[in-house]
Chains A and B, each alone.
Chain A
C-alpha cells in the first residue's frame, strides 16, 4: 500500500503546487441575460455562466434585444478589477474576431451590454451561431483567463433580411466563356426534296401543255437549210452564256465572266440578227 500512498501524496502536492506557482484570473457570479425592448423587467432569458465552463444552449439575440453580461473578475478567488475584461466574439467560419470591453468597477464588478447595432455587418450575416468567450487578464504574472462562455445565435425574424456586405479584393475572377449564336439551320432534307421535286415537276407540265397546244420543231430542217451558220451560232452562244453563268456560280469571278460574256454576246448579236432575219423571212412567206 505504500506506493499507493506515495502516489496520492504526490498528486495532492502537484495539485496544490500549481495554483501556488502561478496565480490566475477568473470570475464569479457571471450571468448573461437577454432583455427584449418593451418587455417587462425579469422577462427574457437569464442564465448563470459557470466558471471555467460554457452554457450548453446558445443564447438567442433578436433585433430588439439587449444582451447583458454581468460578472465579478477575480484574481485567485478574490474580487479584483482586471485591465482587460473583454467579451470576445468569434465567427468560427471566417475566424473573424471582435472584442467588447466590459465596464469595470474597482471591486471587479463588470458589465457589458450588446445589441445588434454594436455588431459589425460581417457578424450579422453569419447564419451559424457565434462563439462568445470571456477574456480576463492584467499585467503581472497571474495567468489570464480565456474560455468559451456561450454561443450567441442571432434570432432573426422570418421577414428580416440577411445583411450582405461586399469587399473588393484583387483575386481571380470567375471564368467567362462566350456563348456563340446558333448556326443557321436548314429544314429537314425531306421537305427540301419535296419542294425541289415540285419545282422540277413544272418541266414535264410545261412540255405537256406545249405538246397539247401543238408545239413542234418542224421548221428546224428548213431553217438549217436556209441559214445553218447563224442558227447554230445563235443557239450555241445562248448555251455558252448560260454555261458562263454556271461557271460564275461555281468558281469564276466577275472579272473573268465580263470579257467572256462580252465576246459571246457579240456572237449572239450578230448571229441572232441573221437567224431572226431568217425567221422573219419564213413569216413573210406565210409559213408561220
Chain B
C-alpha cells in the first residue's frame, strides 16, 4: 500500500507530460529555411506528439546549446548542412557536451552533397565511420525503386528492420517497405554502445557518383556491412541516431508509391518509420525505470522492519525483488523482458557469487515486479545486490545495493550434543566430573586398608 501515492503521482505526471520522457524542447537545425516546407508532415507529426519545435539556422551566431551552463534544448534534430559544417555553436565538442548532459541527437545525412569533415569527426567520436571521400551513395541494382530511380538505382527499397538479435526488442518493425533515396552509408566500429537499426541489402554497395568510372573496383564497404540507420546509446543513456538519408523524411517519400524490380507497387512506410525513429531517439520508447527494490529474508510474515536489512548472515535464504517500468510514447507500461533475454541479479563481492534470472511475479498498472530467491553464499564480507541490465535500444539500468554478510554468531551453530562426532569428548568430560566426585567421596570417608585389616584381626582375636 505504500506505493499507492507514487502510482497516483506516476499517472498524474504521465497525463501532464504526454510526450517524451525527457523533455519537449526540440531544436531543429536547418540551414535553408526554404527546405522547411518539404518536411512539413514530419514537423506536424512531431508537434502532434507534443514537441516544441525551435528552428534555427547553423549560421545564427546567437545559437547556443547551453544556457547558464544548463541544456537549452532537450533534443536536437540536425539536417545536413549546405556549407562546410554546422558552425562553432554546433561543433563536435559542443554536441558531445550536449549528449554528456543527457541530450539526444538525431543527425540526418544525405548522399547528394559531400558531408563536412566536422560531421565526420563528430561521428568518429561515436565510432561511426563514413567513407573517406565522405560523398558516397548506396546503390543496389536489385532493390531499387523502378518508378523514381530507374536509371540511377539510388532509391533503395528495404523491408522494415527486424530485431537486431534474437534477444532484443524490435522498436522499428512493422509492415510495409521503406524508401531510402540517395543514402549516405556508414560502417560501425566494434563497440557495444552501437547498434545498427537498418542495414543495406546484401547486394548493395557504395560508390562516389562524382568518380567517373565504368565499374567500381575499390569499395568502402559492401552489403550488410553498410549501415543506413544506426544508433549509439551513450553510457548515460543519451541517444544519438545517424540517419543516412534525410530525403527519406520528406513529405514526398512519406507517401510515395514505389515499385521494386519484379515487384508490385507499394506505398512507403517512411512516415511510420520516421515516427519510430524520432520516438526512440527522443526517448519516447525504450526508456526503462526502476521502481521499488526490496530484499528480505525468505519468511512468511514480513513487516516493514524486515525489509532491506543492511546485514545478512551466510546461508540465509533471501528474496530480492525489483520493479521495472518501460516508457511507451506517453506513459509507463509494465516492462516485459524480450524473449531469449533475461533480467539478471548478481550477488557480488568483487565478482559475482550468484547470477540469477529475475522472474516476473506481479504486474501493476505501469510496472512489472521481478523476483528471485537464493541462499546467501558461505563467504562473509561486503556484498551487493546488483542489477546491471544493459541492452541495445533500452536505457541502461544499473542498480547496486550494498549489504554486509556476517558469519554465524557463536550461538547460531548446532549444539555440541547434536554432533555425533563430539559424543566421545562429551562422555570424556562428564566421566572426569563423575570420577572427581567419586574420588572426593572415597578420599573423605575411606579407611586405610591396613587399619581395616587390623580391626578385623583385633575382632578375630
Asked if chains A and B come from one complex, the reply is: yes
Fill in one digit per residue for B344-372: 1 if any A CB lies within 8 Å of its CB, else 0. Answer: 10110000111111000000000000000
Number of interface residues of A (CB under 8 A): 77
In the bound complex, do residue B452 and residue A137 qualify as a contact, i.e. CB atoms below 8 Å apart? no
In the bound complex, do residue B446 and residue A172 qualify as a contact, i.e. CB atoms below 8 Å apart? no
Find chain B residues with CB under 8 A from A213 CB: 449
In the bound complex, do residue B435 and residue A206 qualify as a contact, i.e. CB atoms below 8 Å apart? yes
B288 to chain A, nearest CB (A): 13
Fill in one digit per residue for B189-232: 1 if any A CB lies within 8 Å of its CB, else 0. Answer: 01010000000001101010000001111110011110000000
Interface-central residue, A90, A173, A215, A223, by most chain B CB under 10 Å: A215
A-B contact count, CB below 8 Å? 195
Fill in one digit per residue for A80-103: 1 if any B CB lies within 8 Å of its CB, else 0. Answer: 011111101010000111110111
Find chain A residues with CB under 8 A from B390 CB: 170
A162 to chain B, nearest CB (A): 20
In the bound complex, do residue B142 and residue A146 qualify as a contact, i.e. CB atoms below 8 Å apart? yes
**Closest chain B residue, CB of each to CB of A239:** B437
In the bound complex, do residue B222 and residue A83 qualify as a contact, i.e. CB atoms below 8 Å apart? no
Q: Is A41 an interface residue (CB 8 A)?
A: no
Find chain A residues with CB under 8 A from B139 CB: 84, 139
In the bound complex, do residue B356 and residue A172 qualify as a contact, i.e. CB atoms below 8 Å apart? no
A206 to B423, CA, bound (A): 21
Contact of A172 among B341, B354, B433 (CB under 8 A): B341
In the bound complex, do residue B447 and residue A231 qualify as a contact, i.e. CB atoms below 8 Å apart? no
A215 to B344, CA, bound (A): 76
Q: Is B391 an interface residue (CB 8 A)?
A: yes
In the bound complex, do residue B342 and residue A199 qualify as a contact, i.e. CB atoms below 8 Å apart? no
When A101-B219, A186-B420, A202-B431 are in contact, do A139 and B151 touch as well, CB less than 8 Å? yes
When A214-B452, A275-B444 are in contact, do A101 and B216 touch as well, CB less than 8 Å? yes
A200 to B222, CA, bound (A): 89
In the bound complex, do residue B434 and residue A203 qualify as a contact, i.e. CB atoms below 8 Å apart? yes
Q: What are 29 pairs between A and B in contact, CB < 8 Å?
A: A83-B216, A99-B205, A99-B222, A101-B216, A139-B139, A144-B142, A167-B190, A169-B165, A170-B390, A171-B167, A172-B341, A172-B342, A173-B344, A176-B352, A176-B355, A177-B354, A177-B356, A178-B375, A180-B378, A181-B378, A189-B420, A193-B423, A195-B424, A202-B431, A214-B449, A216-B445, A238-B440, A279-B444, A287-B447
Interface of chain A residues 91 through 130 with chain B (CB within 8 A): 95-99, 101-104, 106, 110
Fill in one digit per residue for B173-185: 1 if any A CB lies within 8 Å of its CB, else 0. Answer: 0000000000000
In the bound complex, do residue B437 and residue A218 qualify as a contact, i.e. CB atoms below 8 Å apart? no
When A101-B218, A176-B355, A288-B451 are in contact, do A199 and B427 touch as well, CB less than 8 Å? yes
Fill in one digit per residue for A144-171: 1 if any B CB lies within 8 Å of its CB, else 0. Answer: 1010000000000000000000011111
In the bound complex, do residue A176 and residue B353 qualify as a contact, i.e. CB atoms below 8 Å apart? yes
When A140-B151, A146-B142, A173-B355 are in contact, do A97 and B219 touch as well, CB less than 8 Å? no
Interface-central residue, A85, A178, A195, by most chain B CB under 10 Å: A178
Find chain A residues with CB under 8 A from B3 CB: none
Q: Is B428 an interface residue (CB 8 A)?
A: yes
Interface of chain A residues 199 through 220 with chain B (CB within 8 A): 199-200, 202-203, 206-207, 210, 213-220
In the bound complex, do residue B421 and residue A186 qualify as a contact, i.e. CB atoms below 8 Å apart? yes
In the bound complex, do residue B442 and residue A217 qualify as a contact, i.e. CB atoms below 8 Å apart? yes
In the bound complex, do residue B437 and residue A242 qualify as a contact, i.e. CB atoms below 8 Å apart? yes
Contact of A175 among B142, B205, B355, B440 (CB under 8 A): B355
Q: Is A132 an interface residue (CB 8 A)?
A: no
Number of interface residues of B (CB under 8 A): 72
**Closest chain B residue, CB of each to CB of A278:** B444
A235 to B452, CA, bound (A): 24
In the bound complex, do residue A203 and residue B431 qualify as a contact, i.e. CB atoms below 8 Å apart? yes
Q: Is B153 an interface residue (CB 8 A)?
A: yes
In the bound complex, do residue B205 and residue A84 qualify as a contact, i.e. CB atoms below 8 Å apart? yes
In the bound complex, do residue A146 and residue B203 qualify as a contact, i.e. CB atoms below 8 Å apart? yes
A235 to B438, CA, bound (A): 11
In the bound complex, do residue A178 and residue B353 qualify as a contact, i.e. CB atoms below 8 Å apart? yes
Contact of B452 among A102, A106, A218, A223 (CB under 8 A): A218
Find chain B residues with CB under 8 A from A207 CB: 438
In the bound complex, do residue B225 and residue A186 qualify as a contact, i.e. CB atoms below 8 Å apart? no
A139 to B165, CA, bound (A): 34
Q: Is B392 an interface residue (CB 8 A)?
A: yes
Q: Is A135 an interface residue (CB 8 A)?
A: yes
In the bound complex, do residue A196 and residue B427 qualify as a contact, i.e. CB atoms below 8 Å apart? yes
When A139-B151, A146-B142 are in contact, do A242 and B216 touch as well, CB less than 8 Å? no
Find chain A residues with CB under 8 A from B142 CB: 137, 144, 146
